[in-house]
Amino acid sequence: MEGYFADYSGYDIRKLRIEILQMVWPVAVESLLQMMVGLVSMSIVGHIDAISVGAVGLTNRITMFIWAILNVVVTGTVILVSQSFGSGDKEKVKDYAETGMILGLISILIISILAFYFARLIIHFFGAQDELFLQSVKYLKIITFSLPFMMIIQVGSSIFRGIGNTKTPMYIALCVNLLNLIWGFVLVFGKLGFPKLGLVGAGIATVISQVIGALIYLYLLGYKQKVLTFSLNIKYEHFSKMMRLGIPTSLESLFWQVAHVILTIIVVSFGSAAFAAHQLGMQAESISYTPAFALSIAVTTLVGQSIGANDIKKARLYIKEVMIWVLAVTMVAVMFLLLIPARLMSLLTSDKEVIAYGAKYLILMGLAQIPQNITFVINGAFRASGDTKTPMFVAGIGLWFVRIVFAVLFTKILHMGVVSVWFAMTLDLYVRFLLISLLYRKSTLFHKTDIKVV
């Protein structure tokens, strides 16, 4: 167990813990804020009609696929910026920040144009018909105008996190989300003298808020931090590194999105109550793993900076400390999921059948929270070291050879109920935890005293 309990004499443990806390709390607050704002935004759209809710949900599913592809840029940027910042090479920080921003904008502009012109074909592919088809096409076309600005926000956030600043993205997220809510309310319902635009108003509100958020990032990065020079100079070496690091993470995200669609199709076959329990259960469960997700982002930045500074012992100490934090936070969340699952579901719905199904979902997910959240941390450590392939392979094995295979086996061959789908999900989380832990024990992160900066 040398990798976990090595001699860390000479390190100020208290200082390291403060660094972790300073990195984590803004990310956790930002994630929770976005979740709450998402709920309120959906509530605003929900007061239009059911078709509008479906159109927004369908468009969100499409944009998730887009961001899965563009994870190439975001992941590559945060890893390369953090390692360069840790090594003290300010010029490389600027180069990688510039490369990430330009590459991201070129990619998203192409995708946005294609999504706008082929909106009808895309929505048709997802099976929408009649009024849902028309409203979804309209909403998707509006949202395509916001995508380039969302890309600036995504890359800008990764740059700030790479240099260890998680507060600025949190404040900007607060600003963007509040603007989205305010403009959404005004334009959807026609307040303050504006016309009542309904779903179109919700789309315009998203565009307005994203434009303002993007401008704030460009101002701060270009004129305050002086990280972006807007020279439009991409070096092939930097582009190549970003692709090498980002493509596996992008594929991993695509694995998740496709698997989610397949699993959704399976769950829907069990009826509306089962599907509602599945959706609401995921929402309730997400509150429990949000702190762990924030800690995994902290690991990626802090370990990346330590590797950049050629201090692998410090990187391992960060990993060990964050694992302890994750265990502590997760155990509290697990208690709620296991002891009062029905009560938690009743906060989201009054339907007794949905509550009964959802309680079973939460119990199974509660049993898997610790392995799931430890996996988050180890994945973040691997990515920080420049190894983005290992998390991709582990996710692929778990999702495709455990989650999907067993879900199909249980439901289509053995004709078991919807709970068996959630059991397959739980089994997947344990398998991935065991695989990633084994690979971590064999990795250079665990054994070596130095790692080559990517």
Most confident of 13-22, 148-157, 302-311, 444-453: 148-157
The answer on pLDDT for 252 being more than 60 is yes
The structural domains of the chain, with segments of one domain joined by +, span: 18-234, 247-454
Reported as a pLDDT band with limits 50, 70 and 90, residue 212 is very high
* Average pLDDT of span 228-257: 81
Mean pLDDT, residues 110-137: 86
Res. 3: pLDDT tops 50: no
How much is the pLDDT for 53?
Answer: 72
Confidence of residue 414 (pLDDT cuts 50, 70, 90): very high
Can you give the pLDDT at residue 232? 67
- Banded pLDDT at 1 (limits 50, 70, 90): very low
Cα distance between residue 323 and residue 14, in whole Å: 16
Q: How confident is the model at residue 453 (pLDDT cuts 50, 70, 90)?
A: low
DSSP string, 259-304: HHHHHHHHHHTT-HHHHHHHHHHHHHHHHHHHHHHHHHHHHHHHHH
pLDDT score of 138: 92
Range scoring the smallest mean pLDDT among 137-151, 324-338, 344-358: 344-358
Beta strands in 103-156 (DSSP E): none
Residue 447 is predicted with a pLDDT of 63
| Opening angle at CA 77, ends 60 and 243, nearest 5 | 85
Mind listing the pLDDT tens digit for each residue in 17-73?
888 888 888 887 877 777 666 666 666 776 777 677 777 777 888 888 888 888 888
Highest-pLDDT range among 30-34, 84-88, 173-177, 390-394: 390-394
Q: Is the pLDDT of residue 4 over 50?
A: no
Amino acid at residue number 328: A
Q: Average pLDDT, stretch 420-438?
A: 96
Those residues with Cβ within 8 angstroms of residue 386's Cβ, 6 or more apart along the chain or in another chain? 79, 83, 245, 307, 451, 453, 454
User: Which pLDDT band holds residue 424 (cuts at 50, 70, 90)?
Assistant: very high
Q: How many residues does the chain have?
A: 454
Residue 185 has pLDDT above 80, yes or no: yes
Phi-psi region of 280 (alpha: psi -120 to 50; beta: other; left: phi over 0): alpha
pLDDT at 75: 87
The better pLDDT of the pair 92, 395 is held by 395
What does the pLDDT average to over 269-278? Answer: 80
Q: DSSP string spanning 152-221? A: HHHHHHHHHHHTT--HHHHHHHHHHHHHHHHHHHHHHHT-TT----THHHHHHHHHHHHHHHHHHHHHII
> Confidence band (pLDDT; 50, 70, 90) for 2?
very low
Provide the percentage of residues in the chain whose pLDDT is more than 70: 91
b (16+ CB within 10 A) / e for 410-419: bbeeeeeebb
- Residues 143 and 63: beta-carbon distance below 8 Å: yes
> How many CB atoms are closer than 10 A to CB 107?
17
Instruction: Look over the chain and give the mean of its residue pLDDT values, rounded to a whole number.
Output: 85
Query: Among candidates 255, 277, 263, 256, which has minimal Cα distance to 410?
Result: 263
Which carries the bigger pLDDT value, residue 307 or residue 230? Answer: 307
Q: Quick check: pTM over 0.85?
A: no
Residue 171: predicted pLDDT:
92
pLDDT average, residue stretch 272-288: 77
Listed range (133-147, 204-218, 296-310) with the worst mean pLDDT:
296-310
Over range 89-111, report the average pLDDT. Answer: 89
Residue 141: per-residue pLDDT: 94
The answer to whether the beta carbons of residues 359 and 345 sit under 8 Å apart is yes
**pLDDT above 90 coverage of the chain, percent:** 31
Is the model's pLDDT at 296 over the cut of 60? yes
Residue 301 pLDDT? 85
pLDDT at position 213 over 90: yes
What the block records as the tokens of 250 is: 């992008």
